Copies of this chain bind each other. A is one copy, B any other.
Amino acid sequence: MSLADTKERILDSAEYLFARKGFHNTSLRAITGRAGVNLAAVNYHFGSKEALLEAVFERRLVPLNNIRRENLEAVRETARKEGRLPGVQESLRAFIEPTLAFRKSGTGAEDFITLVGRAMSDPDDTVRNVFIRHIAPLFYMLFDILCEALPELSPDMLFWRLQFAIGAMGHAICMAGKSYSLPDGVTPVSDVESLTAMLLDFVVAGMERP
């Protein structure tokens, strides 16, 4: 078994189980059992359970955040060149679209994005802290751009509206493909494009509310 295989298998297994059971409720024996590797491999390759969580986030969040950052920079640059304010819709789309589209980017991505969707309110300090370390710069960037896009809103109100939007997105991600609390006759779409469009409509309307 090659080095790359062992690490990847552990990461895949951890991602799968963290998404389904949470960090603390997932044991290293469950992860290594599912990955078909030895328990001590976690310590050898990652150092600790917390470091494994960090690696799980980093593996996918760094590329995702790069896309989102590039998108946001493009929004800003385009607006600057055209001598206008950034648009609310394009700013939020720049952030939300790649996030939701991540669901279909490969095996395991669906699980990972579920972790992301609820990370900010995860009861586990460890999860929340690891996530915030990765997301804070991007969050500030989005906030700044929205401040430009909505100059008539106070920063405080904008902050809260952005939290509402992030909450809506996070919950949508967690609920996508799930089937509890379904009213009769409702078969909610779960294709990424439709969901993204609906979510954007919702949050943009809320952000732009006079």
Contact = CB atoms under 8 A, between A and B. Distances in A.
A85 interface: no
The SS class assigned to the A binding surface is helix
Copies of this chain present in the complex amount to 2
B174 A171 contact: no
Contact of A124 (B22, B159, B163): B22
- The range of chain A's interface size is 35 or more
Interface in A181-210: 181-183, 185-189, 195, 198-199, 201-203, 205-209
Contacts of A170: 121, 167, 171
A86 interface: no
Interface string A103-121: 0000000000000011011
6 contacts: A21-B123, A21-B124, A140-B181, A155-B185, A163-B168, A205-B209
Interface of A: 18-25, 117-118, 120-125, 128, 132, 135-136, 139-140, 143-144, 155-157, 159-161, 163-172, 174-175, 180-183, 185-189, 195, 198-199, 201-203, 205-209
